[in-house]
């Protein structure tokens, strides 16, 4: 399932760390893996996907899609999808917890910038 690729199980008490060994199932929930600390080391798939998509768009119209704004927008869109997908999960650690949203946005924005840098660096 697609959700198995996008989500990881996290502790409700520490939703930005996907390490759940020894944590009871009732104290766990799902969150987009892009928003966890572990995602900082897991960029190969998205870097490749955005790079290939950017190159494909350049092949269609090089003048319009050659800008570095294209992979930047893709990285920000991935951040938005990750945030929305996590927020809509049952028992989401985000919910109305504005502190959790702030942390998720910060981690996600850092991930988006690193992802953007990786794509531009490869190209």
Over residues 100-115, the pLDDT tens digits come to 999 999 999 999 999 9
Residues 10/16, Cβ–Cβ less than 8 Å:
yes
Position 63 pLDDT exceeds 90: yes
Position 39 pLDDT exceeds 80: no
Q: For residue 75, what are the contacts with CB-CB under 8 A and spacing of at least 6?
A: 50, 112, 113, 115, 116, 119
* Segments making up each domain of the chain, as ranges: 2-122
Residues 32/83, Cβ–Cβ less than 8 Å:
yes
> What value does the mean pLDDT take over residues 45-70?
95
CA atoms of 114 and 23, how far apart (whole Å): 31
- What pTM value is reported for the model? 0.76
What's the mean pLDDT when you consider all of the chain?
89
Can you give the pLDDT at residue 3? Answer: 61
Comparing 34 with 116, the larger pLDDT belongs to 116
Model confidence at 93, pLDDT cuts 50, 70, 90, reads: confident
> What value does the mean pLDDT take over residues 76-80?
95
DSSP states of 4-44: HHHEEEEESSSTT----TT--GGGEEEEEGGGSGGGGG--H
């Amino acid at each position: 399932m697609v959700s198995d690729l996008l989500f990881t199980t996290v502790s409700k008490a520490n939703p930005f760390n996907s390490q759940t060994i020894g944590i009871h199932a009732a104290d766990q929930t799902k969150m987009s893996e892009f928003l966890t600390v572990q995602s900082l080391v897991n960029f190969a798939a998205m870097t490749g996907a955005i790079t290939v998509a950017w190159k494909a768009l350049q092949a269609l119209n090089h003048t319009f899609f050659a800008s570095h704004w294209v992979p930047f927008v893709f990285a920000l869109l991935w951040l938005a999808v990750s945030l929305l997908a996590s927020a809509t999960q049952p028992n989401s650690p985000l919910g109305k917890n504005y502190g959790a949203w702030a942390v998720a946005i910060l981690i996600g924005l850092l991930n988006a910038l690193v992802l953007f840098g990786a794509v531009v660096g490869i190209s």
